[in-house]
Every structure is written in structure tokens, then in C-alpha cells.
Chains A and B, each alone.
Chain A
């Protein structure tokens, strides 16, 4: 049901249904577990890249690079983890005071590293500092 809503929500709708996952939830552990479940689905069932959002890397980002680098970008750009908003949520919740939430973030990052260590590294680096500061302000 949830997948159907996400996939059938009009792409030009503002805001798109998927943005609900990037907000601050009152139950962040549930938010993480839901994200984890969606990320674990086969790519032909659900993939965050199918939905509107900012990507961590695309082939266009490395259009002037060598064929090897372009090929590496092509291999990872369709990964469901290729979502900057997803990493913003993970980085924000990685700073939680709850051990349970931090453990869940670690488990998700460990899984992601096995799928695409490069996406995780680039994602962690690209989360803007202003986003974290804004989030901390909102949480106060």
C-alpha cells in the first residue's frame, strides 16, 4: 500500500509523497525501520531513485572525467541508496541521544557499505552543515 502510494504519487506534485520520509518524525526509530524496510526491497519493486529527490552522484556529475569514472558512476547512480535526503535523515539521527536510534543508523550504514561503499562515503560528505544546524535548531 505504502509503496503504491509512493510510486503512484504524481511526480510533479509539490511536495511529493516521499518528502514525508525526510521530515523530522515524532517516532524516529519507526521512521528508520520503515526506511530500512524500503531500502531492503528488490530494485524492481521499489527504488528511491525512481522518485523525485537529490542524487549523491550521477553520470552527469562526472561528464568530463575518464571513461572508467563515468562507468563507475553509471553503476551506482541507480542504487536505491543514491538519495541525498536519505543521508540527511541518517546523519541527523546519528546525532540522536537514543542508543537504540544510533544503533539502528549504524546497522543501516553497515548494510549500505556492503552494497555501495562509494555512495555511503560521498553521501556522508555531501550532507550540508547548514542542514544539520537547522535540524538541531528545530529539535531544540
Chain B
């Protein structure tokens, strides 16, 4: 997420609130499915970058990433382009 957002002319408040909310939904907010579906429709690279950063924070987050991906019916092949580490986890868990 950070990479994408730094490329855009986002002001501090927009950046801060988007990060906070992304963290909230990744952590398991009950309505996360709607948000991730819409992000996937609007700006899929935002979500794949968010997955990558979330994985970098802690490789154990792969479980949550795969849960979200499954909700979205994102194919593992698509996820594999996000991060080499995630690809390894999927192929050889």
C-alpha cells in the first residue's frame, strides 16, 4: 500500500485515515468483505500492495491474506505475483 500511495498526491489526512482503516479491515472488521470487494474492483493493485506490506509485517499474516483472497475468489495465481514469499507459502505451506 505504501508504495502505491507514495506515488499519488495524497495529503497527510487521506493517507493517515486510509492506512488506519485498511488496518482495521485487515484485522477482521465484520464488514471487511464489502470493502475488499470494492477495492478489488476499483484498484486491485492497492489491495495486492496491501497484502504484500501485511505479509512483510509478519509472514504469519498469510493466513488472513488467504482468507480475504478466498472471499474475493482471487486465484492463487494472481496472488503469487504479489510477493515471492507468498508464492512459496502457497506452494509449500
Contact = CB atoms under 8 A, between A and B. Distances in A.
Interface of A: 57, 61-62, 65-66, 68-69, 72-73, 76, 91, 94-95, 102, 105-106, 109, 113, 117-118, 120-122, 124-127, 129, 132-133, 136
Contacts, number: 73
A118 B13 contact: no
Contacts of A57: 34, 38
Interface string B11-35: 1111001100110110001010111
A66 to B, nearest CB: 7
Contacts of B71: 66
Interface in B26-72: 29, 31, 33-35, 37-39, 41-43, 46, 71
Interface of B: 8-9, 11-14, 17-18, 21-22, 24-25, 29, 31, 33-35, 37-39, 41-43, 46, 71
Looking at chain B's contact residues, the main secondary structure is helix
Nearest to A109: B17
Contact of B17 (A61, A120, A133, A136): A120
B39 A73 contact: no
Looking at chain A's contact residues, the main secondary structure is helix
B85 to A, nearest CB: 25
B9 A121 contact: no
A72 B21 contact: no
A65 B71 CA distance: 10
A81 B29 CA distance: 19
B33 A121 contact: no
B9 A62 contact: no
A95 B25 CA distance: 25
Given A117-B24, A118-B35, A129-B9, 10 more contacts: A57-B34, A62-B37, A94-B14, A95-B11, A118-B25, A118-B34, A121-B18, A125-B42, A126-B42, A127-B14
